[in-house]
Structure 1
């Protein structure tokens, strides 16, 4: 792709990293607006990443928080080097499609914790794709000030010359709300979390929460196995389900409201002996905050209270990767009947 002469000098400078990506705010419904006001994209369950190609064709694949991902996902690095023009930056999602046709976040996690040599081996047996959904720079030209609709047109032109069956893929987008609603109602069966909704005329403002994310959620039951906070004012619940007779931890709730805390506190009975969970949870426990490095102290309780929770599609082997929302106690449900669920949310 030819570069205008007045951009060549600018393109010779190295692109500074890390680059701060644009973010989204959670919403509970489709936003109002006339047709064409909003652009809708599937919210893929993967690793947010920026593909940065310097003027000397050096490639830097960066996570949302600025970490280097070149060695973790070498196939993305090589595809960016081979197919993307110098002086360009693309925003997208690294995803893995399992042989069953579902998004497979656990394979991305395996890559993330593997050493460089093992990550290269995993790339051969569990390859990933980079689904590009935005363009920040093209051939040395900063396009963040252009409306999304124009950036999208440039991105589509760029991908017209990239092999369709390769590592790099053009993310889906539509301006048709009816089509977006059909995606929302159907794509959860393959692990798509919901939709990212963007003003069609918006510029790209790194770090700003100018986009919206609408997650598909459903209610489910879980058994309370512990809590954080005080017995009179628990601030969060630790949840489990039974799997072949074993009480497994599956997640935690978001911060409880004062009303919710008052509702559940009298229903919690401290456990003294025989609780299957450790007294202190290690870093990396289920649904722990990203980057948590300290163990978690909590109070174990007898697993005899069932609660209804609001969940999304982000699960891994029956565990909720994101904190879930507490809805209400289910004192009418026998805890022994709350068993592990498959990852697919129906």
Structure 2
């Protein structure tokens, strides 16, 4: 059995598509919405999965145990993302959440594996047959990964596109996917580094929301909003859509704090009271524009960030 090196995953930097003039120097992969995992396969038929934090998550995904024998005794360290797929084959983080955190409960993990099967998307080879591949360019590591021929019911090695970034991004938008990861063809693998040679490009959505409450910040933000509780108007009420805790400058936070204090009320303006500790309620009259990545099945905003106040809009304008 081979002794495998521990390798922290390389991270992508948020950004935009590379310039068109250098488009052919980049590979484009679909951005998955799941749990990052470094996969350790010592060659004895076993598998060990470590999360980005270094936590051992092997027991949470028993269906991935069969990957060990699939490599036929070849010791390897691979990089990938564990996802749960929806009915259209797209990664769905909300579905995956029911599988996460079950490493301490193997029996429950096994039951959940039948209800919500996990799928491992492999995208890099870091160590193979006793040799580190980290210094090699992306193209050589990718070729080594593809040569392993790893495809199965619970794992795959999806194809990548070299060049044609605009077309690839448009395709993911039309398919309802989260976005792309652009990887420079010449890039080495830099463990634990958020590198500019890997760029994540997300599709960003915007929505106009009504502020119905807020949660005070802590420390230097005491008395200022740490998060806004926002909703969407519908006939007869205000439906809670989530909380927004990023995206504003210090000046904007101060302005929002002043507006919220003036509008404070004792009762929750949402259709149902969201279970938010320390929430304070306000008259639902402030409208803002929020950016977000996707929505949950319940309609909540995922990864929302504040964009701007909309003083030109009244809540009734949103119905």
The equivalent position to 1:254 in structure 2, one of 221, 226, 246, is 246
Q: Measure the CA separation in 2 of the matches of 1:185 and 1:35.
A: 15
The equivalent position to 1:128 in structure 2, one of 94, 102, 118, is 118
Residue 278 of structure 2 is aligned to residue 303 of structure 1:
no
The equivalent position to 2:96 in structure 1, one of 80, 94, 108, is 108
Quickly say closer, same or farther: Cα 1:235–1:316, change in 2 above 3 A.
same
Q: Measure the CA separation in 2 of the matches of 1:49 and 1:84.
A: 21
- Please tell me whether the aligned partners of residues 57 and 87 of structure 1 are also in contact (alpha carbons under 8 angstroms): no
Q: Measure the CA separation in 2 of the matches of 1:84 and 1:253.
A: 48
Q: Measure the CA separation in 2 of the matches of 1:65 and 1:314.
A: 25
- Please tell me whether the aligned partners of residues 41 and 77 of structure 2 are also in contact (alpha carbons under 8 angstroms): yes
| Residue 134 (structure 1) shift | 0.7
Give me the CA root mean square deviation. Answer: 2.9
| Residue 107 (structure 1) shift | 1.7
| Residue 27 (structure 1) shift | 1.0
3-state SS of the aligned residue for 2:78? strand
| Residue 298 (structure 1) shift | 5.1
Residue 298 of structure 2 is aligned to residue 317 of structure 1:
yes
The equivalent position to 2:109 in structure 1, one of 109, 115, 119, is 119
Q: Measure the CA separation in 1 of the matches of 2:308 and 2:146.
A: 43
* 1:76 aligned partner: 64
User: For 1:175-199, what per-residue CA distance to the aligned partner results, in whole angstroms no more than 9, with x for missing partners?
Assistant: 12x2x32232232455421111111
Quickly say closer, same or farther: Cα 1:299–1:212, change in 2 above 3 A.
same
Which TM-score applies when normalising by structure 2? 0.84
Q: Measure the CA separation in 1 of the matches of 2:55 and 2:69.
A: 19
**Paired residues for 1:267-286 under 5 Å:** 267-268=259-260, 269-275=262-268, 281-282=276-277
Q: Measure the CA separation in 1 of the matches of 2:238 and 2:69.
A: 48
User: For 1:202-228, what per-residue CA distance to the aligned partner results, in whole angstroms no more than 9, with x for missing partners?
Assistant: 110111111211111121112222143
- Please tell me whether the aligned partners of residues 84 and 92 of structure 2 are also in contact (alpha carbons under 8 angstroms): yes
Q: Measure the CA separation in 2 of the matches of 1:314 and 1:213.
A: 19
Any gaps of 5 or more consecutive residues in structure 2?
Answer: none
Structure in which a larger fraction of residues adopt strand: 2
3-state SS of the aligned residue for 1:301? strand
* 1:36 aligned partner: 24
Bigger shift: residues 272-281 or 307-316: 272-281
**Paired residues for 1:322-333 under 5 Å:** 322-333=303-314
| Residue 21 (structure 1) shift | 0.3
User: For 1:137-166, what per-residue CA distance to the aligned partner results, in whole angstroms no more than 9, with x for missing partners?
Assistant: 11221111110011011111112xx4x452
Which TM-score applies when normalising by structure 1? 0.78
3-state SS of the aligned residue for 2:3? coil
- Please tell me whether the aligned partners of residues 60 and 70 of structure 1 are also in contact (alpha carbons under 8 angstroms): yes
Residue 206 of structure 2 is aligned to residue 219 of structure 1:
yes
Quickly say closer, same or farther: Cα 1:121–1:154, change in 2 above 3 A.
same
**How many residues of Structure 1 are paired with residues of Structure 2 in the alignment?**
307
Quickly say closer, same or farther: Cα 1:335–1:266, change in 2 above 3 A.
farther
Q: Measure the CA separation in 1 of the matches of 2:68 and 2:86.
A: 22
- Displaced runs of 4 or more, over 4 A: 230-233, 276-280
* 1:58 aligned partner: 46
- Please tell me whether the aligned partners of residues 216 and 223 of structure 2 are also in contact (alpha carbons under 8 angstroms): no
| Residue 280 (structure 1) shift | 8.0
Any gaps of 5 or more consecutive residues in structure 1?
Answer: 1-11, 283-296, 339-346
- Please tell me whether the aligned partners of residues 53 and 81 of structure 1 are also in contact (alpha carbons under 8 angstroms): no
Quickly say closer, same or farther: Cα 1:336–1:35, change in 2 above 3 A.
closer
